[in-house]
Amino acid sequence: MANMNLYSRGDKGFVIANMILIGLFALSTLYPFIYIASMSLSSGFAAQAGTVVLTPVDLTVAAYGKVLSEPQFWISYRNTFIYTIGGTVMSLIIIIPGAYALSRPQLYGRRFWNLMVAFTMWFNAGLIPFFLNMRDLHLLDSYFGIIIAFACNAFNIILLRNFFESIPSSFEEAARMDGANDFQVLRKVYVPLSKPAIATVTLFCIVARWNGFFWAMVLLQDENKIPLQVYLRHVITELSDDEQFAATLIDAPYSVDTVTAAIVVCSIIPVLLIYPFVQKYFNKGILLGGVKE
């Protein structure tokens, strides 16, 4: 990619300026994270006075104490794990066999089935019919509803199907010789050979589930079922206007801002933990397979 040997002395200024500029861009990307971490570790008074800019002021973990002592925080955290793990497993159960079937040349009506999947990328019934459908299916306020309703999408199926199609048929023929049927061919040939693509789809699912908020907010009223993102939204948009909560802040070592920042940090940490794995796969550009069918 980089043309190491292809650079003359006259380019030095250009190369250095470029390095500095791109470094500045990276720093400006990083800054909001540093700011929010510092905010979460500052005292409520310092935050309120607007003195937190880069590093924590009056270092304290009071905001974390407040967050971790809220039962709702733990309920929501647990729910997010349920939705993430349950949802990702459900996705793989539907997507892997479906993508395999859609990649088979001998599938009757293959063009039709593929079009039926792809069409949903171009035309969508929209928020209201989707919501009413969920209500009619009695899937409001339900763990199962959230897990199943977002388990699949055209993009992931097409991505995996394309990968399956790119696997030379000679691998499969060898297994067929040994008398393998479709279930076995999928399990013993296609799945092992498609690990990078399956890993990509898995990571897409995990990230989408962990971050998903809009439909969880719309479909779940029961506070015992809401995920972390919905709780976080509640804290961010409603707590700051909540006078009762504001009253508890007088003389407290934390403020709405430091508490918000602390929850943000708590919900980013798991993302940071899996991020190195995510990076490894996305760098290979596997996701490009999904752009073209």
**82 sits near another protein (criterion: CB under 8 A):** no
**287 sits near another protein (criterion: CB under 8 A):** yes
Q: Tell me the two tokens of residue 268.
A: 């980013």
**193 sits near another protein (criterion: CB under 8 A):** no
**Helix or strand or coil: residue 49?**
coil
Cβ nearer to another protein, comparing 29 with 244: 29
Residue 92 makes CB contacts below 8 A (sequence gap 6+) with 198, 201, 202, 205
**53 sits near another protein (criterion: CB under 8 A):** yes
Cβ nearer to another protein, comparing 22 with 59: 22
Residue 264 makes CB contacts below 8 A (sequence gap 6+) with 36, 40, 232
Q: Please identify which residue in 117, 159, 201, 226 interacts with another protein, judged by CB under 8 A.
A: 117
**72 sits near another protein (criterion: CB under 8 A):** no
Number of residues forming the site for another protein (CB under 8 A): 108
To another protein, the closest distance from the beta carbon of 133 in angstroms equals 5
To another protein, the closest distance from the beta carbon of 170 in angstroms equals 20
Residues 130-159 that bind another protein (CB under 8 A): 130-133, 136-137, 148-149, 151-152, 157
**188 sits near another protein (criterion: CB under 8 A):** no
**196 sits near another protein (criterion: CB under 8 A):** no
**229 sits near another protein (criterion: CB under 8 A):** yes
Residues 242-261 that bind another protein (CB under 8 A): 255, 257, 260-261
Q: Which stretch binds another protein (CB under 8 A): 81-89, 166-174, 193-201, 265-273?
A: 265-273
Q: Please identify which residue in 71, 168, 179, 285 interacts with another protein, judged by CB under 8 A.
A: 285
Q: Please identify which residue in 29, 69, 170, 244 interacts with another protein, judged by CB under 8 A.
A: 29
**111 sits near another protein (criterion: CB under 8 A):** no
**8 sits near another protein (criterion: CB under 8 A):** yes
To another protein, the closest distance from the beta carbon of 154 in angstroms equals 8
**192 sits near another protein (criterion: CB under 8 A):** no
